[in-house]
A and B are shown apart, each in its own frame.
Chain A
Amino acid sequence: MQPQARKVTLSTGELTYFVAGEGRPLLYLHPAGGVRWTRVLEGLAGSFALHVPVVPGFDGTIAHGTVKSMRGLASLAGEFIEKVIAGPCDVIGCSFGGYAAAWLAAEYPKLVDHLVLECPAGFRPKGTGERPADAEALRKLLFLHPEKLPPESKPVEHEAANRKMLQHYGYTLGTDEELLARLPSIDKLTLILHGTADRMIPKESVQLLKSRMPRSYLVYVWDAAHSIEVDQPERMLSLVESFLQRSEGFMVNWGTLAVNPG
């Protein structure tokens, strides 16, 4: 399913976004490398109306002068939901996007239904998560199975340019104490995902999230590094779809003889 690129004018400037599929609306906030149209996104577009905004300044777009923080980015995402989706929706955020998604759920709870935090940034213990400058070393941190990268993936150098935008949003490697303090107030059903071989976001980060978010589930995806979507797309897709469609019922093994598998 080919995503369509569109533009919308928000209060702070023009925003590019991609949309694909039909069904219940689903917002996806991309990681620091920018938008990567993975098999997970392809699969989600088979069941949902998937909306993928490009964070201003990423993938060749223009940064919005007044949006300069993760909280500001959450505000922008909230406005996007109100204007384009026109109502609450499920939200997935990956890494940097997961950080923004957590802020979105804290600041605009009425706009968020289910929340999926895929190896979210923003909660690293001190001294962890340093990014190597070398592109190949970074690639090894991101992917356990780089051979699974979609062939049309953007070059690592383009992703590096995107990562330079992180400073614009006041993104740091440590823990966002303000957001951490607000996690207990997020009452959205939340699925936290972490790759068992993720060396970019330590397991302590997701353990901390799990301990602070009252309605959260933490699931480790085996044989995946930071980019779970690339390393284990089938498993992640199946898990996320089950969570979004069944809510708490995703815990149940429905087997094949379930009376009401939906």
Chain B
Amino acid sequence: MKFCFFHLMPYTHLGLESHDWPFPNRYFDPAKASALYRTYVESMIHAESCGFDWVGCNEHHFSPYGMMANCNLIGGALAYPTKRVKIAMIGNLVPLNNPIRIAEEYAMLDCMSGGRLVAGLMRGIPHEYLAYNIPPGESWERQREAVELILKCWTEPEPFGWEGKHYQYRQVSIWPKPLQKPHPPLLISASNADSAKFAAEMRATMGMVLLADLPSGKECIRIYKDAARASGWEPTAENILVGMHTCIAETDAEARRLLTDGLKYFDEVLMGGLQASQRIVLQKTRYFENEESRDRWKSRLDKRRTLTLDEAIERGTVLCGSPETVVRQIKRIHSELGHGVFNFTVKVGTLPDEVIRRGMELFRDRVLPHVRDL
């Protein structure tokens, strides 16, 4: 089993007051953010010495939910201080950005890190489309076209042009090209049937960064594996990434108390303001191609909001407890899903950074030895 230390880089200096998205940036204090960035990046660098195999981060806009408008900048900050860990961008929001730019920046990261990039090509969550004024109803088409274009950028030996529906370029020849051949491994979100099929068609690792529940995760994995076989390849366990909030402390009680506080900020402040804008996109556009996917996504959010921490632990969607408890939880979830990469979202809301550091060390000393060989 491989483990990813994933960071959302939230802004944590707010009261427990929710605002609609976009969150007014009069609440943003750059001096405080400056300190946060340093702490967060140092945690990610430290993850390597704690036995993690990947460090991961992602892109979000216009809210304290995550301070990485361009996570590739964080990837650049990680490339030289680390030596071994994969640098997982989970990832750039492909339909929102210029695909050529994504191909270029990812190629830079791959060269700078000595071929350690995991290239996440994400479709994003609904309200992000408002940020960059991209029609949500075009998200799937843009995603499909842009991913193909990015692959062309990485693999084409001659200058080429692209005449697509959403993207047109007459001369492309990116410098640099990625170090990994034929290209860095892809990671594509696969939290519903459509995205699971697409990830398989693109021979990408499937990612469920915040697992909704075990049965739906199992179903997505089944769909992904079937689609991969139909596309002529057989995924391994390492092609399946499953993620969840994670809190490891000395005792179960301490971990639950800490995570409960962190989740309160996460749910009420970081996630709270997103709901109105997400509702608008979901109700007014065809962000999801069918109602089933839309309802599923909505119910996943609703479920998350209404579950108590105990219920979430019981359902296998949160890792929380002493090292021994977390070992049992990891083994149980792995026995259900058979995945090969576990993605820990460690900075949950206001969970203190020193607690996270201690949790990382507990992971290294008392968790990893028991789950490495899963």
Query: Is A160 interfacial (CB-CB < 8 Å)?
Result: no
> Out of B145, B148, B157, which one reaches A207, CB within 8 Å?
B157
Query: Is B163 interfacial (CB-CB < 8 Å)?
Result: yes
Contact with B along A211-230 (1 / 0, CB 8 A): 10000011111110000000
Q: Would you call B148 and A196 a contact (CB within 8 A)?
A: yes
Number of chain B residues close to chain A: CB under 8 A: 17
Contacts of A235 in B (CB 8 A): 163-165
Query: Is A63 interfacial (CB-CB < 8 Å)?
Result: no
Shortest distance in angstroms between A78's beta carbon and chain B's nearest beta carbon? 29
A residues 192-212 with Cβ under 8 Å of B?
196, 207, 210-211
Q: Would you call B164 and A222 a contact (CB within 8 A)?
A: yes
Residue ID in chain A nearest B151 by CB atoms: A196
Shortest distance in angstroms between B172's beta carbon and chain A's nearest beta carbon? 10
Contacts of A5 in B (CB 8 A): none
> Out of A218, A222, A251, A252, which one reaches B149, CB within 8 Å?
A222
Q: Which of A207, A218, A239 has the most CB of B within 10 A?
A: A218
Q: Would you call B158 and A219 a contact (CB within 8 A)?
A: no
Shortest distance in angstroms between B310's beta carbon and chain A's nearest beta carbon? 49
Query: Is B306 interfacial (CB-CB < 8 Å)?
Result: no
Q: Which DSSP category, helix, strand, loop or mixed, fits chain B's interface? A: mixed
Shortest distance in angstroms between A124's beta carbon and chain B's nearest beta carbon? 17
Contact with B along A233-259 (1 / 0, CB 8 A): 001100100000000001111000000
Q: Would you call A220 and B170 a contact (CB within 8 A)?
A: no
Given the known inter-chain contacts A207-B156, A222-B145, please indicate yes or no for A217 contacting B161, CB distance below 8 A.
Answer: yes
Query: Is B171 interfacial (CB-CB < 8 Å)?
Result: yes
Contacts of A217 in B (CB 8 A): 159, 161, 170-171
Query: Is B366 interfacial (CB-CB < 8 Å)?
Result: no
Given the known inter-chain contacts A217-B170, A222-B145, A251-B170, please indicate yes or no for A239 contacting B158, CB distance below 8 A.
Answer: no
Query: Is B27 interfacial (CB-CB < 8 Å)?
Result: no
Contacts of B159 in A (CB 8 A): 210, 217-218
Residue ID in chain A nearest B166 by CB atoms: A222
Q: Would you call A207 and B158 a contact (CB within 8 A)?
A: yes
**Cα(A226)–Cα(B145), bound, Å:** 18
**Cα(A252)–Cα(B163), bound, Å:** 13
**Cα(A207)–Cα(B157), bound, Å:** 7
Query: Is B175 interfacial (CB-CB < 8 Å)?
Result: no
Contacts of A250 in B (CB 8 A): 170
A-B residue pairs in contact (CB < 8 Å), sample of 10 = A210-B159, A219-B163, A219-B170, A222-B145, A222-B162, A222-B163, A223-B164, A223-B165, A235-B164, A251-B171
Q: A219-B161, A222-B162 are in contact. List 9 more A-B contacts (CB 8 A).
A: A211-B157, A217-B161, A219-B170, A220-B161, A222-B164, A222-B167, A235-B163, A235-B165, A251-B170
Query: B residues bordering A, Cβ < 8 Å?
Result: 145, 148-149, 152, 156-165, 167, 170-171
Query: A residues bordering B, Cβ < 8 Å?
Result: 196, 207, 210-211, 217-223, 232, 235-236, 239, 250-253
The 4 A-B pairs of least Cβ separation, nearest first, read A219-B161, A222-B164, A251-B170, A210-B158
